[in-house]
Structure 1
Amino acid sequence: MFRDHRSRRAGTPTAAFELGKGQLMTTPISRRSLLGLAGATAGAALLGACGDDKGTDSGGNATIEWWHISNTDPMLGIWQQAANDFMAKNPGVTIKITPLANEAFKSKLTTVTQSGNAPSLFSSWGGGVLAQQVDAGLLKDISADISSWVGNLAPVSLKYYQVDGKYYGLPFDSGMVGFWYNKDLFAKANITNPPATWTEFLDAVRNLKAAGVTPIALGGKDKWPTHFYWSYLALRIGGAESLEAAMRDKNFETPDLLTATQKLKELFDLQPFQKGFLAATYDKPDGQAALVGNGKAAMELMGQFAPSNQAAFSQSKSGLGDKLGFFPFPSVEGGKGKVSDIFGGGNGFAVGKDAPPKTVEFLKYLLDVEVQRKGAASGAILPVTKGAEDAIKDPNQQVVAKTVNESTAFQLYLDQAWEPKVGQQVNDSVTELLAGKATPDRVLKSINNAAKR
């Protein structure tokens, strides 16, 4: 929603480009879509894009099918160059790249996986969705192949690419969700310091509205951006254990989660989002990222990839520059959680069951410290390879990286951490709350029902 949620981009010399409409992040594939057998005929039509064998011919030549959601620069070009360099060093290897917008990626992957196949290497945020793909027999256990070098990666997000202690993919980016804000618009509303508490945050929203500024940009149509608010409020009010307990016990109708949902309605009642937010996407020229990048909204709650997306979808293609600031999700008075408890994720890649052996070597190359440094220097990712963090130049990204490293608890995007039927219901129900179509009680009951199905 590592969500991308989630950055996105890539490339190669013999690349087969299929650009989507936007880009990024982080929404899940529903369990029904992932595992359903309906549409197998349609899926078969796309199998040629994935290959129907191990991807290696009798002459030892290998074809790696690589699907990713990094479909805008800077990572589009960085991935392109990495693929070019790997092929130059490995004659006989062809990397066929398909960069897609987030929603287009999900749709195409769902169609293909319905027929029991998957690309050699493809975008993944780990967690419950990865586990479902493993259960469906779509992924390859790469544990033995990476055992000699996986220790070079920071441990914070590695666990989300494991199922029963085995690795089926790896992250290339790690970070957190927080508020990205326009310093000039805050100054226009006489907000001198970023809000540190929920009460201060609501006051800031009121001040921005009074100053004629749209407080928050939100891509409500995509739904995954809406669940960030509920998730953080649940984390702040009940603490990390409350979310873990809710999923474990399949009981979401708890006092802490009810309070979190009521707090979100409290925000919604202030009408803080842009007009038409329910029809807006995250990654369009008139979407959430663009509104902030063009100075049309004061802030957005988004992951570490937000600045590069704001720039990519802004009219200037440069975003806000030094006018952009960052602050963690505020504390909630009386809550059990800490401000140092963070929510978010990053981006990674899963390895398909029929991927040729060279695929893991290519994945290792993508995690090479120099490739990771290029991504970090661009401001698009927060690297996971040890030794690459010195390339982070942007002051805001340095704050994000420091906050992640010093966090006291880390909660992966709920629509990735939890099994897909529950994660998708969270997205749906929270969006219904913001549309005025569900009460806080109804939101929790719907999630509860999904968990027990």
Structure 2
Amino acid sequence: MTSHLSRRSLLGLAGAGAGALLLGACGDGDSGASANPQKIRWWHVQDAEPMLSVWADLARQYENEHTHVTVEVQPLEVEAFKTKLNGAVEAAMPPDLFQSWGGGALQQQVEAGLVKDITSEVQGWIGQLLPASLQPYTVNDKIYGIPFDIGMVGFWYNRDHFAKANIETPPKTWGELLEVVNKLKAVNIAPIALGGKDKWPGHYYWAYLAMRIGGLEALQRAAEDRNFDTPVFIAAGERLRELVDMQPFQKGYLRAEYGSETGQAATMGNEEAAMELMGQWAPSVQASSSTSKRGLGDRLAFFPFPAVEDGKGSATDAFGGGNGFVVGRDAPPATVEFLRTLLQARNQRRAAQTGAVLPTNQAAVGGIKDLNNQVVAANLGIATGFQLYLDQAYPPAVGQQVNESVAQLIAGTKRPDQIVKDITRVAKKQ
């Protein structure tokens, strides 16, 4: 269930360039699609700028060029989307095109017969996409979705806050990170912003610590054995508690959401904390959630999750994933063609230029203008391995329990040895 990718497959993100072919234009939109009236129900989670208006505009353009097609767009906040999609899945009525992170959730949707095998329909153009990005959307060698974005989680930090605390270089080890926390607290700067209410941001710490302590093999073994009650995962919890006990987070973090006006991203965007552990979308959400709506600009920088002393994992192994769209089983014929349009190089470049997307079309990588996103792409380019988010890599029930258990660990209501038993109990039922 985990997404272990070789360095070779990831290198394309940083090195793709002029030689890549552009995706062909879609013509009049009637090739392979009926000219009868069609309505595409499209759900996505880019419910804030800059991508909210980009997706809306691309839908309108497609409608103007394909007068028999209507695209009904429904942007949703992430948690609201998950709730709504779960309801649609339980009713066996999935939307025609919907946000997906692949992995375990997609596999269950495939097994339930709720999504469409689009392998043959996309063969003419998926060659331009990064191989690494397709893996989470491939089940039993068949393709059910297409990724428009790929990236990794790391620490975003405020250069000015680091300078005020006399921190000259980003930490490279866990011990150094704890020293940075102490230095920031000494000058009355909240070291880390965290959206504890949403739970998923907290699982990033536990997952990365498990990777750094036990290596990617430990996460693979846990998935295969359905057993998280091992020294590696207990040690990851102990290290996370070590951090939590230092009180590094902003006031009220357990009640804070990720993207609200008082949430994790806003705390960073309003310069009320020095760091956050988040994916490649962080700069754009910091800006849109902040009071100024501008974000930190060149005061924002990025560093990978540090190595853990005496750990077996490589400091160049990346944790993250991407965003993509899956096609529902009863989607009208025009749906895959519309998806192809979204992945055209010109449209991927447009998305990349917003700073919110790291494109999967290799011909669009040159559209990455944001310097921080270029750094993320460079880190992906040297990655020695890759792990998909645990709440996506594993079956949904297991992923949900991971988020819940790590939240309990951070809140202090469960111990490291207790949460691994809870997660294992759920995993054994799958």
| Fold equivalence (TM over 0.5) | yes
Which deviations, in whole Å up to 9, do the C-alpha atoms of 1:396-431 show, x marking residues without a partner? Answer: 110101111221100000000001111111111111
Match status 1:221 vs 2:174 = no
Q: Deviations over 1:109-153 (max 9, x none)?
A: 122221101111010000001111112221011011001111110
Distance 1:236 1:59 in 2: 53
TM-score by length of 2: 0.91
For residue 81 of structure 1, what is the aligned residue in structure 2? Answer: 57
Structure 1 residues 344-372: Cα deviation after superposition (integer angstroms, max 9, x where no partner): 01100010011011000000000000000
Give, in angstroms, the shift of residue 80 of structure 1. Answer: 1.5
Give the distance between the partners of 1:222 and 1:441, measured in 2 at CA: 23
Letter in 2 for 1:432: Q
Aligned counterpart for 1:202 among listed residues 169, 172, 178: 178
Aligned to 2:427: 451
Q: Among 316, 322, 327, which residue is 1:351 paired with?
A: 327
Structure 1 residue 180, shift from structure 2 partner: 0.4
3-state SS of 1:388 partner: helix
Q: Is the 8 A contact 2:34 2:334 kept in 1?
A: no
Tell me the equivalent position of 2:8.
Answer: none
In the alignment, what sits opposite 1:30?
Answer: none
Deviation at 1:58, TM superposition (A): 9.3
Per mean C-alpha deviation after superposition, the further-off stretch among 305-314 and 96-105 is 96-105
Q: Distance in 2 between matches of 1:451 and 1:123?
A: 25
Secondary structure of the structure 2 residue equivalent to 1:345: strand
Q: Secondary structure at the match of 2:152?
A: coil
Name the counterpart of 1:396. Answer: 372
Q: Distance in 2 between matches of 1:59 and 1:361?
A: 13
Query: Could you tell me which amino acid in structure 1 is paired with residue 232 of structure 2?
Result: D
Equivalent-residue separation in structure 1 for 2:53 and 2:244 (angstroms) = 39
1:252 is displaced (CA, Å) by 1.2
Aligned to 1:262: 238
Distance between the aligned counterparts of 1:379 and 1:410, measured in 2?
22
Question: 1:271 corresponds to which residue?
Answer: 247
CA distance in 1, matches of 2:362, 2:62: 21
Corresponding letter in the other structure for 2:159: K
Instruction: Give 2:72's aligned residue.
Output: 96
Match of 2:114 in 1: 138
1:173 to 131, 149, 153: 149
Amino acid at match of 2:89: T
Which residue identity does 1:345 align to in structure 2? G
- Select which of 393, 400, 404 maps to 1:424: 400
The partner residue of 1:412 within 384, 388, 392 is 388
Partner of 1:193: 169
C-alpha distance in structure 1 between counterparts of 2:94 and 2:52, whole Å: 22
Q: 2:292 matched to 1:316? A: yes
Structure 1 residue 341: Cα displacement: 0.2
Is the 2:99–2:325 contact (alpha carbons within 8 Å) kept by the matching residues of 1?
yes
User: How far off is 1:59 after superposition?
Assistant: 6.7
- Tell me, in whole angstroms, the C-alpha distance in 1 between the residues paired with 2:193 and 2:281: 16
Whole-Å Cα distance in 2 between the matches of residues 355 and 414 of structure 1? 29
Q: Could you say which residue in structure 2 is the equivalent of 1:292?
A: 268
Q: Which residue type is aligned with residue 84 of structure 2?
A: K
Aligned to 1:7: none
Deviation at 1:170, TM superposition (A): 0.9
Q: Which residue of 2 aligns with 1:150?
A: 126
Residue 68 of structure 2 aligns with an amino acid whose one-letter code is G
Closer, same or farther: CA 387–254 of 1 in aligned 2, 3 Å: same
Aligned to 2:214: 238
1:304 — aligned with what? 280
List alignment gaps of at least 5 residues for structure 2.
1-32
Of 360, 377, 387, 2:336 maps to: 360
- CA distance in 1 between counterparts of 2:45 and 2:328 reads 16
Structure-2 separation of matches of 1:251 and 1:108: 30
Q: Secondary structure at the match of 1:175?
A: strand
> How far, CA to CA, are the matches of 1:224 and 1:331 in structure 2?
22
Alpha-carbon distance in 2 for matches of 1:440, 1:447: 11
Matching residue's letter, 1:265? R
Does 1:333 pair with 2:300?
Answer: no
> Hey, what's the Cα distance between the residues in 2 that align with 1:320 and 1:205?
20
1-structure distance, mates of 2:402, 2:315: 23
State how 1:44-63 maps to structure 2 within 5 Å. 60-63=36-39
Determine the C-alpha separation between the residues in 1 that align with 2:143 and 2:208: 28
Where does residue 23 of structure 1 map in the other structure? none
Aligned partner of 2:137 in structure 1 is 161
Whether the 8 Å CA contact 2:43–2:99 is kept in 1: the answer is yes
- Cα displacement (A) at 1:450: 1.1
Per-residue CA distance 1:270-307 (angstroms, 9 max, x = gap): 01111111111001000000000000011100000000
Q: Does structure 1 conserve the Cα–Cα contact (< 8 Å) formed by 2:34 and 2:333?
A: no
Q: 1:164 Cα deviation (Å)?
A: 0.8
Question: Residue type matched to 1:434 in 2?
Answer: I
SS at match of 1:216: coil
Q: Deviations over 1:146-201 (max 9, x none)?
A: 01111110011211001111111110000000000011111111111111110000
Task: Give structure 1 regions of 4+ aligned residues with deviation exceeding 6 angstroms.
Answer: none
Distance 2:160 2:80 in 1: 35
The answer to whether residue 81 in structure 2 is matched with residue 116 in structure 1 is no
Residue pairs, 1:428-439, within 5 angstroms: 428-439=404-415
- CA distance in structure 1 between the partners assigned to 2:381 and 2:173 by the alignment: 22
